[in-house]
Structure 1
Amino acid sequence: MTLMLNVTDLRGTTPTTAELRRVLPRGGTDVNSVLPTVGPIVEAVREHGAEKALEYGEQFDRIRPATVRVPGDIIDKAERELDPALREALMEAIARIRKVHAEQKPAAHTTTLGPGATVTETFIPVARVGLYVPGGKAVYPSSVLMNVIPAQEAGASSMVVCTPPQEEFGGWPHPTILAACKLLGVDEVWAVGGAQAVALMAYGDDAYELEPVDMITGPGNIFVAAAKRLVNGVVGIDAEAGPSEIAIIADDSANPEFVALDLISQAEHDENAASVLITASSQLAEAVERAVDKRAAQTLNAERAASALGGSQSGIVLVDDLEHAILVANAYAAEHLEVHTRDARAVAERITNAGAIFVGDYSPVPLGDYAAGSNHVLPTSGTARFNAGLSTHTFLKPVNLIEYDRAALEEIGGHIIALAADEQLPAHGEAIAARMEQK
């Protein structure tokens, strides 16, 4: 079977941002479409707690764990039996991710506005965090690392990892997931998946001694995304994750094999994953298409990759030149953006919209998926225009400490009284005047 990538030819055009958003290939999921299904699940778990969550798990996953919370000896056994090579890989990834996220933590700072007038910004960690790790088409110990480590570096005092039970492993989550938790010092793991897991983390269950969380993060399918939307406000969430996506800016200096392999690497995630090449070189586009056709058929997940690469969300975008490519990339706002051009760093620094930017031939997206040190939980579906990926900042709350003495308040007090009078809130002004009049 010959795999043909869709081609969007923008050469000779000057489309507006609105036009680009309409014509560029784009994946995505309609979360609204599953809200009628997910809403009753969330409400049932809110009302009936763990029992209802376990019922839904048995219905959807065909397995019911003996307890919601995975026993410590099961977690310990998973860590003891971890393959040595995999342990070494996880430990190296942990070290790199931890170093990057530790250095992200901002320091408190004080602004002095005059004698006796200061505002200090401090950063308070979210106290209890719920971290969702999917367990559908693949095993994702990397998602454990990417969620747990920034929460730890922020200073979260309590966390739970929620991940689906597996029939193959006696109703407990996949051992590699449990082993990753153990390596990170996380001992609270709930064997619950899907929308019911999100609801249970949000509402908890006192009878089962399952404490609710303050924030839920982590990727998942459309049902998980819908549940996160529904509990947002009861708890904080990071984002509603859509299908994985990669865009690549490449010129005629790019290696077509590298570009093709990187497009395929994201396409194997999911049939709805998006893989987009943006180039002014028709020769490169043709070479990449040939390489994709050859390589995609050889990969383990060939059927899944072919479905994603042949879908309307993937393809090649032909542009006039590098300036045009940068314009298109910023309008697309990819989750992952690779730059394969001459002077790739200079091009990368002109990108304003991307979840993460991978610079040059030897910084492919799979590096960031596992062990670059950066985070792989990133904004999808164009939301990189206004959202950032998961980081230590996600789990920190900036809080201002306002300290004025009497003289400093008197200096600004008249202005406050004038503003309060204009807004017809006289009690505000009276609260200030009383302090100024005090003997």
Structure 2
Amino acid sequence: MTIPIITDLAVARAGILRRAFLDDDTATVTTVAEIITNVRQRGDAALREYTHRFDGVDCEVIEIPRERLAAAAADIDQSLRQALLLAINGIRRFHERQLRNSWVEFSVEGALGQIVRPLDRVGIYVPGGAAPLPSSLIHAAVPARVAGVREIVVCSPPQRSTGEPAMAVLAAAHLAGVDRFFAVGGAQAIAALAYGTESVPRVDAVAGPGNRYVIQAMRMVYGTVGVVSLPGPTETLVIADQTANPRSVAADLLAQAEHREASAILLTPDWGLAEQVQREVERQLAALPAVNAQAARDAVTRRGGIVMVPDLTTAFALANEYGPEHLCLLIAEPWAYVGEVRNAGGVFLGEDSFEVLGDYVAGPSHIMPTEGTARYASPVNVDSFRKVISLVGLNRAGVKRIGPAAIRIAEAEGLFAHAAAVRTRLESLDNDGRE
């Protein structure tokens, strides 16, 4: 059988539940560092050379005109256009609920508050290659637009067959309200967004999924620009009990496994279900197109498995240790266990809330934390594209009350100029004889 059944929890923890992080690849780090340096030094010329080398396309002009985006949106199949619009509207409605506002609180001591401001310009990376992802574009661009970002810039590699990014991606850019679009992919696109070139504007933050080279580039440019997340190879973890439909469980595992380098894991206390799912994975693999089947087979064989657990409590403990991007609950009472979840990018509850709907049309962004970063990171959301500026507007009454404490702490830290700045204000208040 392709997908193994693992009965020893220690073996599972040391194996499929223990990730091999991609940033440990020295060759990848070296290659990406060279690309970033070249793009910083040579700008558009380097972008054109890398596009020729990696994508097999010669592009003198790397920016796609907005008229071409509009034409693509008009030319795509109308059923796809309507599906994209349905997704965009659902994503917008969901993220509008996340908006938080600026606030100021006044008191007799003055005022404190915060200003919430959108970023001015963000860059979104959209993978191309064998599976262009218009869904990833809208799952980043729509929350950014809801956040109030002034300018959204997209980079996506051109296809060898057409010399431009996939038409569905171009159409999605127009429908989502993207401002500028560049036919550039890979680590070189991230470098261009971070440092700017003659054509590509420098952005404030970058978002979007990508392969190991793209994610490594994001790591390297962090600090020069903000990095919204580092979404590496996708992963799904299913917890299922005896009530689960084995066909659904297998389908949910394979839906993620067909992505390259994906992970697909099932935790279950039911041996009968484990065996049925194992057989279903084989049956469903046989029905997939050859290329997809090969990728999925590789994923479930090398980075997937069915782990037998004594009970659901153990399953949730393992899931929290693993911190999956997608946590799918195919159990009798999924809502009863939501409180047990501490680490996950997204939780999908029950037979009718399967993860593929989240990939496309459910509402939350599908760009979620991977590689265990769900223990501290969140999916892409409105706050990914906004910042908070603190407001401090104290008056003399406030200075008089809290100033002495500031002096005491400053002196404890050996920062006597800090203390003197406060003492000067307090002495001035005493001399004025006013509060």
Tell me which interval the TM-score lies in, with the shorter structure as reference length. over 0.9
- Tell me how far apart the structure 1 counterparts of residues 130 and 113 of structure 2 sit (CA, whole Å): 47
Deviations 1:211-261 (A, max 9, x none): 200101101111111111111111011222221111011111111111111
Counterpart in the other structure of 1:198:
190
Aligned-pair distance for 1:340?
A: 1.0
* Residues 318-357 of structure 1: pairs in structure 2 closer than 5 A: 318-357=308-347
Counterpart in the other structure of 1:174:
166
Unaligned residue ranges in structure 1 (runs of 5+): none
Aligned-pair distance for 1:24?
A: 4.1
Runs in 1 of length 4+ with deviation above 6 angstroms?
Answer: none
Deviations 1:341-363 (A, max 9, x none): 12111112311010100000100
Return the match for 2:85 from 63, 88, 91: 91
- Tell me how far apart the structure 2 counterparts of residues 420 and 187 of structure 1 sit (CA, whole Å): 48
Instruction: Classify 1:415/1:188 alpha carbon distance in 2 versus 1 (closer, same or farther; 3 Å).
Output: same
Q: Conserved in 1, the CA contact under 8 Å of 2:6 and 2:12?
A: no
Counterpart in the other structure of 1:61:
55
Aligned-pair distance for 1:43?
A: 0.4
Instruction: Classify 1:28/1:336 alpha carbon distance in 2 versus 1 (closer, same or farther; 3 Å).
Output: farther
1:211 aligns with 2:194: no
Q: Conserved in 2, the CA contact under 8 Å of 1:28 and 1:243?
A: no
Counterpart in the other structure of 1:74:
68
Aligned-pair distance for 1:32?
A: 3.6
Q: Conserved in 2, the CA contact under 8 Å of 1:119 and 1:401?
A: yes
Compute the RMSD of aligned alpha carbons: 1.6
Aligned-pair distance for 1:111?
A: 4.8
Return the match for 1:8 from 6, 9, 30: 6
Aligned-pair distance for 1:26?
A: 4.6
- Tell me how far apart the structure 2 counterparts of residues 402 and 21 of structure 1 sit (CA, whole Å): 49
Aligned length: 425
| Residues 429-438 or 227-236, more deviating | 429-438
Q: Conserved in 1, the CA contact under 8 Å of 2:5 and 2:274?
A: no
* Residues 201-280 of structure 1: pairs in structure 2 closer than 5 A: 201-205=193-197, 207-208=198-199, 210-270=200-260, 272-280=261-269
1:115 aligns with 2:108: yes
- Tell me how far apart the structure 1 counterparts of residues 66 and 133 of structure 2 sit (CA, whole Å): 20
Instruction: Classify 1:87/1:21 alpha carbon distance in 2 versus 1 (closer, same or farther; 3 Å).
Output: same
Secondary structure at the aligned position of 1:40 is classed as: helix
Counterpart in the other structure of 1:290:
279
Q: Which amino acid in structure 2 is aligned with residue 307 of structure 1?
A: D
Aligned-pair distance for 1:432?
A: 1.1
- Tell me how far apart the structure 1 counterparts of residues 105 and 283 of structure 2 sit (CA, whole Å): 60
Q: Conserved in 2, the CA contact under 8 Å of 1:29 and 1:242?
A: no
- Tell me how far apart the structure 2 counterparts of residues 94 and 74 of structure 1 sit (CA, whole Å): 20
* Residues 149-164 of structure 1: pairs in structure 2 closer than 5 A: 149-164=142-157
- Tell me how far apart the structure 2 counterparts of residues 74 and 97 of structure 1 sit (CA, whole Å): 24
Aligned-pair distance for 1:156?
A: 0.7
Q: Conserved in 1, the CA contact under 8 Å of 2:186 and 2:213?
A: yes
- Tell me how far apart the structure 2 counterparts of residues 387 and 133 of structure 1 sit (CA, whole Å): 21
Counterpart in the other structure of 2:299:
308
- Tell me how far apart the structure 1 counterparts of residues 341 and 204 of structure 2 sit (CA, whole Å): 34
1:406 aligns with 2:396: yes
Return the match for 1:39 from 17, 33, 39: 33
Superposition TM-score, scaled by structure 1 size: 0.93
| Residues 233-242 or 84-93, more deviating | 233-242
Counterpart in the other structure of 2:415:
425
Instruction: Classify 1:23/1:119 alpha carbon distance in 2 versus 1 (closer, same or farther; 3 Å).
Output: farther
Superposition TM-score, scaled by structure 2 size: 0.94
Q: Conserved in 1, the CA contact under 8 Å of 2:127 and 2:156?
A: yes
Q: Which amino acid in structure 2 is aligned with residue 56 of structure 1?
A: Y
Q: Which amino acid in structure 1 is aligned with residue 121 of structure 2?
A: R
- Tell me how far apart the structure 2 counterparts of residues 401 and 21 of structure 1 sit (CA, whole Å): 47
Overall identity of the aligned pairs, in %: 38
